[in-house]
């Protein structure tokens, strides 16, 4: 049977309009490439890089692009089994199926999985109009509507969206409606996570990617059916939710072992709990000393007045790379340096810049290349 890859236009104003086509894909009748209607340049890039309109293996339901922050996006090939296994495992972990509120872009894997979970549960999701961005008022109205149902209610946010919601009483009250608030795409500010716990907001930190059909590790523990191991410092993820390779990178080493995905992240497992320590390709070599930037980022996030931070290395004539950092928040650069007194001096940023907002790529992911350009 010949099958071609079809673009699935995702309208930020009405993500639910994609549900019928998505249901056909899960039923094995179509193979779809989710693309954003409101971003013609991104759509064109995805259609070209993922070979839209060309033949594809009919067992593939969706080709979901990575964020592409380090070049041309890769396309994870996901079968209906991958997608449904992920949705079922999520509901099992959370305590049952329920009503989902979608406040995230539905062409990214986190948003797509909210739609898939809704199809699996047989409950129509409440989707926000994101054509002009994420607004707390609209999120609060959606949460209020969800609260009128008799079953469980869930939502999924980026750390940036969580922080924005927790900036207002209206947002906090909305967050407390949900039986679980999944938060992924980037590390959560530890002070923010503690504040959420103090306010009885049930935040679940998720870890995963397009290649794993979305988050497959929740609060450091693998979902039912998922597997995690760390080999040579690299995190490997396994299970029925693992993609069948890349559409545009056949034979990629990340999928060398069937049923497993070798991530680009470093980590460790302690008493069965996974801790992600940073990206392997982001290590900074400064004067022969190697720094995982996430180590410094976590130290800075513990300082009052630091909301978001990104640490990168930039070329330096003597050191090879100089450690620099950009951050948002009310803290002055002097207060930040003072808060890092317990770190070795070589780990302190050579330049520190406070900005109104960090550049991002994808849903809530900081664009490290964009940060490098700031310096």
Mean pLDDT of 124-138: 96
pLDDT of residue 31: 98
Give CA–CA dist 375/313, Å, rounded: 10
Answer yes or no: are the C-beta atoms of 189 and 308 closer than 8 Å: yes
Residue 246: beta bridge partners? 76
pLDDT value at residue 91: 98
Could you tell me the pLDDT band of residue 363, with boundaries at 50, 70 and 90? low
- Calculate the average pLDDT of the chain: 94
The better pLDDT of the pair 30, 249 is held by 30
How many angstroms separate the CA atoms of 101 and 281, rounded? 34
Maximum CA extent, the chain = 65
SS3 per residue for 100-112: EEECCCCCCHHHH
**Percentage of the chain exceeding pLDDT 90:** 86
- Pairing mode, strands 180-183 and 214-218: unpaired
CATH architecture of the domain 283-374 equals 2-Layer Sandwich (3.30)
Which among 122, 107, 90, 146 is positioned nearest to 23, based on CA atoms?
A: 122
Taking residues 54-73, what's their average pLDDT? 86
What number is the average pLDDT over the span 202-213? 97
Residue 211: pLDDT band (50, 70, 90) is: very high
Q: In what order do the strands lie in the sheet with 214-218?
A: 126-127, 98-102, 152-157, 180-183, 203-209, 214-218, 221-222
CATH architecture for segment(s) 80-276: 3-Layer(aba) Sandwich (3.40)
The residue behind tokens 């290349």 is: 369
Q: Quickly list H helices, 68-121.
A: 80-94, 109-121
Long-range pairs, 160-165, Cβ under 8 A, ≥24: 160/186, 160/308, 160/360, 160/364, 161/103, 161/104, 161/134, 161/364, 162/188, 162/192, 162/196, 162/203, 163/189, 163/192, 163/307, 163/308, 164/134, 164/136, 165/136, 165/139
Residue 172 has pLDDT above 60, yes or no: yes
pLDDT per position as a tens digit, 76-99: 999 999 999 999 999 999 999 999
User: In the chain, which residues fall in CATH 3.30.300.30?
Assistant: 283-374
Provide CATH 3.40.50.12780 ranges for the chain: 80-276
Alpha-carbon span 32 to 26, nearest angstrom: 10
Neighbours of 210 (CB within 10 A): 25
Nearest CA to 323 out of 314, 332, 331 is that of 314
Lowest mean pLDDT among 46-55, 132-141, 276-285: 276-285
SS3 (DSSP) at 263: strand
Q: Exposed (0-12), middle (13-18) or buried (19+): which is 248, by Cβ within 10 Å?
A: middle
**pLDDT exceeds 60 at position 106:** yes
* 116-149 core/surface letters (b: 16 or more CB in 10 A; e: else): bbbbbbebebbbbebeeebebebbbebbeebeee
Task: Please give the helix or strand (H or E) that residue 17 lies within, else none.
Answer: none
């Amino acid at each position: 049977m010949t099958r071609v890859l079809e673009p699935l236009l995702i309208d930020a104003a009405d993500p639910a309009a994609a549900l019928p086509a998505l249901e056909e894909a899960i039923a094995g009748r179509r193979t779809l490439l989710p693309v954003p209607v409101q971003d013609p340049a991104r759509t064109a890039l995805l259609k070209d890089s993922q070979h839209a309109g060309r033949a594809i293996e009919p067992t593939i339901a969706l080709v979901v692009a990575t964020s592409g922050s380090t070049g041309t996006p890769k396309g994870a090939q996901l079968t209906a089994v991958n997608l449904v296994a992920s949705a079922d495992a999520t509901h099992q972990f959370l305590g049952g199926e329920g009503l989902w509120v979608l406040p995230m872009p539905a062409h990214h894997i986190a948003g797509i999985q909210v739609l898939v979970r809704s199809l699996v549960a047989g409950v129509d999701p409440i989707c926000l109009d994101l054509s002009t961005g994420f607004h707390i008022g609209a999120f609060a109205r959606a949460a209020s509507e969800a609260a009128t149902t008799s079953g469980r209610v869930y939502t999924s946010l980026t750390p940036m969206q969580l922080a924005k919601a927790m900036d207002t009483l209206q947002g906090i009250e909305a967050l407390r409606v949900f039986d679980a608030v999944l938060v992924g795409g980037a590390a959560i500010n530890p002070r923010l996570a503690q504040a959420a716990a103090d306010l009885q907001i049930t935040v679940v930190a998720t870890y995963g990617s397009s290649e794993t059909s979305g988050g497959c590790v929740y609060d450091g523990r693998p979902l039912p059916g998922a597997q995690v191991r760390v080999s040579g410092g690299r995190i490997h993820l396994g299970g029925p939710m693992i993609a069948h390779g890349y559409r545009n990178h056949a034979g990629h080493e990340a999928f060398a072992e069937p049923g497993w995905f070798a991530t680009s992240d470093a980590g460790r497992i302690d008493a069965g709990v996974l801790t992600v320590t940073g990206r392997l390709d982001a290590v900074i070599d400064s004067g022969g000393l190697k720094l995982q930037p996430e180590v410094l980022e976590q130290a800075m996030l513990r300082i009052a007045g630091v909301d978001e931070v990104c640490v990168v290395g930039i070329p330096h004539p003597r050191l090879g790379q100089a450690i620099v950092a950009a951050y948002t928040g009310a803290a002055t650069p002097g207060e930040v340096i003072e808060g890092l007194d317990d770190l070795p001096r070589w780990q302190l940023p050579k330049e520190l810049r406070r900005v109104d907002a960090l550049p991002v790529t994808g849903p809530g992911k900081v664009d490290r290349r964009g940060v490098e350009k700031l310096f």
